[in-house]
Amino acid sequence: MEAATAGTRAAAEAQPRKRGKISNRTKSERRLGWMLCAPAVIVMIAVTAYPILYSVYLSLLRADLRFPGDRAFIGVDNYVTVLGSSLWWADFFHTALIMVVSVSIELVFGMLLALVMHRAIFGRGLVRTASLIPYGIVTVVAAYAWLLAFSTPSGGFVPHVLGIQHDLVDQGHPVTSFLVVIAAEVWKTTPFMALLLLAGLALVPDELHEAAKVDGASAWQRFWRITVPLMKPAILVALLFRTLDAFRIFDSAFIIGQNGTNPKIETVSILGYNQLLNRLNLGLGSAVSVLIFLCVLVLAFFFIKVLGTERPGDAA
């Protein structure tokens, strides 16, 4: 593996020097390379680049399906509207809150779960399989399970057991609404976090632990001084994936917010959905979508450039 990567790297470094006099063989190899990539590139352009560029284009128009005759180019007006709206910022705050709280809890729980999976001696396979079940359940189904457990009008058992008369997940009770959404997210995606962390744990050599043990380091010291620093790349990749995912949260919040009717847990994705599918305002809705995309880009940039996360695919 390592040798191969080193080889490619060396080749890549060597290339600029040769520029200007490319041999026929290299040329035909390059052409073959392009031809082999072409199907993938075409598919990616069709399913990713085209929709993204089309959204960017739509976001610069006044485009409302209800008034097909009124289409016009209005520049960045839609962005001005979105960024000037208190609703966008309220929903942005809701999203950020759900993202930060749920990812933090997931990191702690995911690490614990990964340690359990790593250290389990008996029934290791069973532990690993069982812990993956929540991740395997369809998000909408899981969200309904949480909604039905906490919603009083739906006969949820939680308010029943606690003797609570009001609905825990309606717009009158934002705090409990948030807690339920966050709990559903944590329950659902901790296994994913744990799997990514488990891969990192496997990279920590046992000898280091044994050496530290001989030197008299406590379990806590070994965890903080050996495991965590060596796992840092894996932790950052796990955080990157989950943060980007959590920012785009839609299904859990939509279902637990009773088809998006609870404005207290409305997220930016639900906001975009409302503009696009309820108001049929393609311009505004696309502007929201593009802004969500930019937020995700900024988050990814922060993780990769500032925290130094390795991009997936770049081997260490």
Partner 1 sequence: MVAGCGGSKTAAAKLNFWSYDEPGGTFRDAAKRCTQQSNGKYQISFNALGNDADTQRQALVRRLAAKDSSIDILSMDVVWTAEFAQAGWIKPWPANFRAAVSKGTLNGPLQTATYKGRLYGAPANSNTQLLWYRKDLVPGQPPKTWDDLIDTASKMKTAGRIEIQGAQYEGMTVWFNSVEQSAGGQILSGPSKVGLPTAPTMNALRIMAKFGRAKSADPSLSSQKEDQNRLAFESGQAAFQINYPFIYASAKANNPKLYQQIGWAPYPTVNVADSAKKAPVGGFNWGVGGYSKHPAEAFAAAACMRDSQNQRDFAIKGGLPPTLSSLYDDPAFVKSYPFAKLVRQQLEAGAVRPQTPLYADVSLAIYKTLSPVSAINPPQTLGQLRSRITDALQSKGLL
Can you give the binding site for partner 1, defined by CB under 8 A? 62, 64-68, 81-82, 85, 87-88, 153, 166-167, 170-173, 259, 261, 263, 271, 274-275, 277-281, 284, 288
Q: Closest approach of Cβ 287 to partner 1, in Å?
A: 9
Q: Closest approach of Cβ 173 to partner 1, in Å?
A: 7
Q: Closest approach of Cβ 95 to partner 1, in Å?
A: 14
Whose structure tokens read 């379990």? 219
Distance CA(98)–CA(121), nearest Å, equals 35
Q: Closest approach of Cβ 172 to partner 1, in Å?
A: 3
- Residue with smaller CB distance to partner 1, 88 or 178: 88
Contact 304, 131 (CB under 8 A): no
Which residue, 105, 102, 113, 114, is CA-closest to 231? 114
* 72 φ, ψ (degrees, to nearest 5): -155, 155
- Residue with smaller CB distance to partner 1, 68 or 75: 68
- Residue with smaller CB distance to partner 1, 59 or 102: 59
Contact 185, 230 (CB under 8 A): no
Q: What stretches of the chain show up as alpha helix (H) in DSSP?
A: 2-18, 24-44, 50-58, 77-83, 86-119, 124-136, 139-150, 157-162, 174-201, 206-214, 219-222, 228-247, 251-256, 268-273, 282-301
Q: Closest approach of Cβ 150 to partner 1, in Å?
A: 14
Q: Closest approach of Cβ 127 to partner 1, in Å?
A: 41
- Residue with smaller CB distance to partner 1, 246 or 268: 268
Whose structure tokens read 């490619």? 8
* Beta-carbon count within 10 A of 264 CB: 17
Please classify residue 48 by burial: count the beta carbons closer than 10 Å to its beta carbon, then call 0-12 exposed, 13-18 middle and 19+ buried: exposed
- Residue with smaller CB distance to partner 1, 102 or 177: 177
- Residue with smaller CB distance to partner 1, 110 or 285: 285
